[in-house]
């Protein structure tokens, strides 16, 4: 417990103060600085072994070739890129999924939205936060890109999300695991001390002193003298070795190292440690800044007499996880630790095979006393012969080649086994990396192999998705605090946002990336199935279905390409208009029914007439045959007159039916034809050459 001369209350004034150092004496600041340094060193010691393991893994990922002298100087020294391939494969899949187009943040609508106000607000929030990350904070996408390549190797990285008064905007910076020191056995981020290592130039310290952010230390000896070299751990030395750089000698341009520690301190002596951020200079432990780590007085819960029960502190850091550590540590593990031993074994096997091939292919052995050969090195070229003083038989007996074995096939099989299991662990199997599974492999089998190969990636990507969600929630809260109260237009258009839009639940913002769809092919197949099911189905919104399909195809400017069903279809009819339309339809149906009845009567009359005509033809033929030519002419004339009369009646019926068909102008199945045609009346049997038939009967 700190024994301070001056104590300060955790109230509104304390929370809003940009720096609390002026409220403490020099002795109090020294005690606070020493406490910060002591706790920082304890956290550093807790993760020494973690640093050693990750340094070895980073060397393998960077394919650093260390000096070797065994089995002989200049022996094979190959670093097989297993970790490098695994990290690149994860990065190549995760980065396009997270930053896909111009939308990275999505605000969901929670609960009923009868008037559409929630939907409009969600669209404004989604557009504004995506613009903040991709356009306003120009470093966010680049740092996210770096994080997705570093995390697979190291296992852990951090995002520091805060409002920058210097730039007047929200920032979310990448902090590598080596630059944020937290106790290795911490259970969570919020309840434990964290120390961010920040190099600071003299100019930056000077600017922050003048702005009131840092305490004025311009007269202190450590600031006026040459800045000390930043102390380096063994891991940092190896980092410099990997990059091929050495730390420069300290001079006036050498940056200072600040330790920004997010912790709790009981500065009022009430027994409850309040959340603060304390920044000290590394070499002298000089306190530069003390600031409360809370947003407002509303975050402090007190009893009736004003005693603090708990404080809702503002957490700056979000962990980007990879694979949870099996020992319960807060530091997740990456391919550098997970595949490191296997990668080293593969390196040993590869180097042994190369060394075995080298010694097998090079000349060497023993020379006996009987070999009379002059000293020196003999070089042979084609068609060249070198003379010796020994006979061929003595030379053959005196020169004994060194008995060596060729590269072992068993060693090569073991190497293949190690590489195979390494790919299984990392999920970087051949078919997932674009390898050819074989000409005779069925398509469904290949698809199943791809899905199984992506299982490891899918689980890891869901953890990345959760960390992005936590980062977006922090940005959402910062917007609710720091945005202007009125409308603020952004992105150079008529799009606006206001602080009121961010007063809702921060859990409504999530990444646009879908953690359940791991490939473009799977996303496109899903969109196809959705379009097939939703086509013509009133239970689906056709606009959303079509937008999802176009997004799966990665079509840019969807809003311009697809206007939407609402703009293509006419406005819906009112209830009164719909009733009138139904009345007209009923009247038309009744009229059509009456026409059908009338046409049926005409058809029946025509059918009867045609039957009579056929009967008259038959009677005329019979009468002619029976009369034997006597009085046949008069009988035939009588039959012909009756037939002509019936034909005239049929012609009249045909004209009436055609007139009705022209007025109806339909092609139904009712026999009325269509477009004024009456097929049933064309070419009827009664319309043939009656005279010809009568002539045959007369003959």
Structure tokens at 575: 């209830």
Q: Say if residues 256 and 280 touch (Cβ distance below 8 Å).
A: no
In this structure, what are the phi and psi dihedrals at residue 308, rounded to the nearest 5 degrees?
Answer: -75, 125
Over residues 58-107, the pLDDT tens digits come to 999 988 888 888 888 889 998 999 999 989 989 988 898 888 878 899 99
Query: Does residue 448 register a pLDDT over 90?
Result: no
Q: Say if residues 209 and 216 touch (Cβ distance below 8 Å).
A: yes
- Burial of 14 (C-beta count, 10 Å sphere; 0-12/13-18/19+): buried
Give the mean model confidence (pLDDT) for residues 277-293: 96
Q: What is the pLDDT of residue 421?
A: 81
State whether residue 385 is helix, strand or coil.
Answer: coil
Q: Pick the residue with more confidence: 650 or 55?
A: 55
497 CB contacts (<8 Å, ≥6 apart)?
124, 125, 128, 483, 487, 488, 490
Q: What are the C-alpha distances in Å from 208 to residues 19, 213, 280, 289, 661?
A: 11, 5, 14, 10, 94
Query: Does residue 675 register a pLDDT over 60?
Result: no
- Burial of 649 (C-beta count, 10 Å sphere; 0-12/13-18/19+): middle
Of 143-147, 401-405, 418-422, 565-569, the range with the lowest mean pLDDT is 565-569
Q: Convert 641-656 into a string of H (helix), E (strand) and C (coil).
A: HHHHHHHHHHHHHHHH
Structure tokens at 193: 């001390």
Q: What is the pLDDT of residue 48?
A: 94
Q: Say if residues 657 and 678 touch (Cβ distance below 8 Å).
A: yes
Of 217-221, 533-537, 631-635, the range with the lowest mean pLDDT is 631-635
> Dihedral through CA 644, CA 646, CA 648, CA 649, nearest 10?
170
Q: What is the pLDDT of residue 247?
A: 60
Which residue shows structure tokens 């009112």? 574
- Burial of 679 (C-beta count, 10 Å sphere; 0-12/13-18/19+): exposed
Of 111-120, 234-243, 272-281, 500-509, the range with the lowest mean pLDDT is 234-243
Q: Give the model's confidence band at 232: pLDDT under 50 very low, under 70 low, under 90 confident, else very high.
A: low
Q: What is the pLDDT of residue 663?
A: 67
Query: Does residue 112 register a pLDDT over 50?
Result: yes
CA dihedral sign of residues 439, 441, 444, 448: negative
Question: Could you tell me the end-to-end alpha-carbon distance of the chain, in angstroms, rounded to an integer?
Answer: 141
Query: Does residue 610 register a pLDDT over 70?
Result: yes
Q: What is the pLDDT of residue 581?
A: 86
Give the mean model confidence (pLDDT) for residues 675-679: 43
Q: Pick the residue with more confidence: 154 or 603?
A: 154
Tally helices (H) and strands (E) across the chain: 22, 16
Q: Pick the residue with more confidence: 289 or 643?
A: 289
Q: What is the pLDDT of residue 681?
A: 44
CA dihedral sign of residues 588, 593, 594, 595: positive
For residues 21 and 29, give the distance between their C-alpha atoms in angstroms, rounded to a whole number: 7
Where does 437-571 have alpha helices with state H?
443-453, 455-482, 520-534, 542-552, 558-561, 565-568
Q: Pick the residue with more confidence: 519 or 465?
A: 465
State whether residue 303 is helix, strand or coil.
Answer: coil
- Burial of 102 (C-beta count, 10 Å sphere; 0-12/13-18/19+): middle
Q: Pick the residue with more confidence: 331 or 167?
A: 331
Which residue shows structure tokens 């190292």? 257
Q: Pick the residue with more confidence: 458 or 164?
A: 164
Q: What is the pLDDT of residue 420?
A: 84
- With a pLDDT cut of 70, the percent of the chain lying above it is 83
Give the mean model confidence (pLDDT) for residues 637-651: 81
- With a pLDDT cut of 90, the percent of the chain lying above it is 38
For residues 620 and 614, give the distance between their C-alpha atoms in angstroms, rounded to a whole number: 10
For residues 664 and 658, give the distance between their C-alpha atoms in angstroms, rounded to a whole number: 10
Q: What is the pLDDT of residue 689?
A: 40
State whether residue 472 is helix, strand or coil.
Answer: helix
Of the candidates 506, 500, 508, 477, the residue with the CA atom closest to the CA atom of residue 296 = 477
CA dihedral sign of residues 118, 121, 126, 127: positive
Query: Does residue 22 register a pLDDT over 60?
Result: yes
Q: What is the pTM of this model?
A: 0.72
Over residues 653-671, the pLDDT tens digits come to 888 777 777 766 554 444 4
Q: Pick the residue with more confidence: 661 or 181?
A: 181
Give the mean model confidence (pLDDT) for residues 333-349: 91
Q: Pick the residue with more confidence: 375 or 134?
A: 134
Q: Give the model's confidence band at 185: pLDDT under 50 very low, under 70 low, under 90 confident, else very high.
A: very high
Q: Give the model's confidence band at 519: pLDDT under 50 very low, under 70 low, under 90 confident, else very high.
A: low
Q: What is the pLDDT of residue 549?
A: 83
For residues 668 and 599, give the distance between their C-alpha atoms in angstroms, rounded to a whole number: 13
Q: What are the C-alpha distances in Å from 428 to residues 41, 84, 384, 543, 650?
A: 39, 11, 52, 38, 86
664 CB contacts (<8 Å, ≥6 apart)?
592, 595, 672
CA dihedral sign of residues 352, 355, 357, 360: negative
Identify the bridge partners of residue 547 per DSSP, sorted by sequence position: none
Where does 18-116 have alpha helices with state H?
26-46, 48-61, 82-98
**Rg of the chain taking only CA atoms, in angstroms:** 46
Give the mean model confidence (pLDDT) for residues 264-282: 94
Over residues 126-172, the pLDDT tens digits come to 999 999 999 999 899 999 999 999 999 999 999 999 999 888 899 99
Q: Say if residues 344 and 337 touch (Cβ distance below 8 Å).
A: no
Q: What is the pLDDT of residue 335?
A: 92
Query: Does residue 378 register a pLDDT over 90?
Result: no
For residues 96 and 629, give the distance between their C-alpha atoms in angstroms, rounded to a whole number: 104
State whether residue 589 is helix, strand or coil.
Answer: helix
Over residues 476-495, the pLDDT tens digits come to 999 999 999 888 888 777 78
Mean pLDDT highest for which of 156-170, 422-436, 446-460, 649-663? 156-170
Q: What is the pLDDT of residue 562?
A: 80
Q: What is the pLDDT of residue 678?
A: 45
Q: What is the pLDDT of residue 685?
A: 43
Average pLDDT over the chain, rounded to whole? 82
Give the mean model confidence (pLDDT) for residues 563-585: 74
Identify the bridge partners of residue 257 per DSSP, sorted by sequence position: 199
State whether residue 310 is helix, strand or coil.
Answer: strand
Where does 155-280 have alpha helices with state H?
202-210, 221-224, 234-243
Give the mean model confidence (pLDDT) for residues 103-121: 88
Q: Give the model's confidence band at 566: pLDDT under 50 very low, under 70 low, under 90 confident, else very high.
A: low
Q: What is the pLDDT of residue 231?
A: 62
């Amino acid at each position: 417990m700190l024994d301070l001369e001056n104590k300060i209350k955790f109230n509104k004034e304390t929370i809003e103060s940009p720096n609390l150092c002026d409220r403490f004496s020099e002795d109090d600041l020294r005690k606070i600085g020493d406490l910060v340094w002591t706790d920082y060193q304890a956290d550093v010691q807790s993760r020494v072994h973690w640093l050693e393991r990750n340094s070895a893994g980073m060397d393998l990922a960077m394919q650093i070739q260390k000096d070797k002298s065994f089995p002989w100087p200049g022996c094979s020294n190959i670093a097989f890129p297993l970790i490098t391939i695994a990290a690149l494969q994860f990065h190549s899949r995760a980065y396009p999924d997270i930053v896909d187009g111009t939308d990275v943040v999505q605000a969901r609508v929670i609960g009923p939205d009868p008037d559409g106000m929630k939907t409009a607000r969600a669209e404004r929030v989604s557009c504004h936060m995506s613009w903040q990350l991709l356009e306003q904070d120009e470093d966010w996408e680049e740092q996210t890109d770096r994080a997705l390549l570093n995390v697979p190797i190291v296992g852990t990285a951090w995002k520091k999300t805060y409002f920058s008064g210097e730039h007047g905007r929200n920032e979310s910076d990448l902090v590598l695991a080596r630059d944020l020191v937290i106790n290795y056995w911490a259970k969570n981020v919020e309840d434990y001390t964290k120390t961010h290592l920040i190099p600071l130039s003299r100019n930056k310290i000077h600017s922050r002193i003048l702005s009131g952010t840092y305490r004025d230390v311009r007269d202190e000896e450590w600031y006026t003298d040459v800045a000390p070299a930043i102390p380096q751990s063994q891991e940092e030395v190896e980092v410099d070795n990997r990059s091929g750089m050495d730390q420069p000698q300290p001079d006036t341009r050498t940056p200072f190292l600040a330790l920004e520690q997010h912790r709790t301190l009981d500065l009022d002596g009430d027994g409850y440690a309040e959340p603060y951020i304390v920044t000290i200079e590394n070499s002298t432990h000089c306190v530069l800044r003390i600031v409360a780590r809370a947003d407002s007085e509303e975050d402090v819960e007190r009893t009736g007499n004003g005693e603090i029960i708990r404080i809702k502190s503002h957490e700056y850091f979000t962990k980007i996880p990879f694979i949870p550590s099996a020992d319960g540590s807060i530091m997740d593990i990456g391919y550098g630790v997970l595949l490191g031993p296997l990668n080293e074994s593969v390196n040993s096997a590869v180097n042994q095979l190369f060394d075995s091939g080298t010694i097998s292919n090079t000349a060497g052995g023993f020379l006996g006393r009987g070999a009379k050969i002059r000293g020196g090195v003999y070089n042979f070229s084609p068609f060249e012969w070198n003379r010796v003083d020994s006979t061929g038989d003595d030379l053959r007996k005196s020169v004994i080649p060194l008995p060596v074995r060729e590269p072992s096939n068993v060693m090569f099989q073991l190497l293949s086994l190690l590489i195979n299991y390494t790919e299984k662990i990392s999920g970087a199997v051949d078919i997932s990396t674009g390898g050819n599974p074989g000409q005779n492999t069925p398509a469904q089998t290949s698809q199943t192999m791809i899905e199984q190969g992506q299982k490891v990636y899918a689980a890891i990507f869901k953890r990345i998705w959760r960390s992005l969600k936590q980062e977006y929630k922090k940005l959402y809260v910062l917007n609710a605090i720091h945005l202007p109260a009125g409308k603020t237009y952004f992105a150079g258009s008529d799009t606006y946002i206001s602080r009121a839009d961010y007063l809702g639940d921060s859990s409504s913002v999530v990444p646009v990336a879908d953690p359940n769809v791991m490939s473009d092919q799977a996303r496109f197949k899903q969109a196809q199935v959705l379009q097939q099911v939703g086509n013509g189905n009133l239970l689906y919104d056709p606009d959303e279905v079509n937008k999802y399909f176009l997004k799966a195809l990665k079509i840019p400017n969807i809003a311009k390409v697809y206007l939407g069903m609402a703009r293509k279809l006419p406005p819906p009819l009112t209830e009164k208009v719909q009733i009138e339309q139904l009345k007209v339809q009923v009247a038309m149906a009744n009229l059509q029914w009456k026409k059908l009845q009338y046409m049926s009567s005409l058809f029946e009359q025509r059918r009867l007439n045609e039957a009579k005509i056929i009967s008259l033809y038959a009677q005329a033929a019979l009468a002619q045959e029976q009369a034997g030519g006597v009085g046949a002419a008069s009988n035939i004339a009588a039959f012909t007159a009756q037939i002509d009369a019936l034909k005239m009646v049929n012609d009249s019926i045909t004209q009436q039916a055609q007139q009705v068909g022209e007025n109806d102008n339909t092609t139904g199945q009712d026999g009325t034809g269509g477009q004024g045609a009456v097929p049933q009346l064309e070419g009827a049997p009664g319309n043939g050459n009656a005279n010809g038939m009568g002539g045959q009967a007369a003959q």
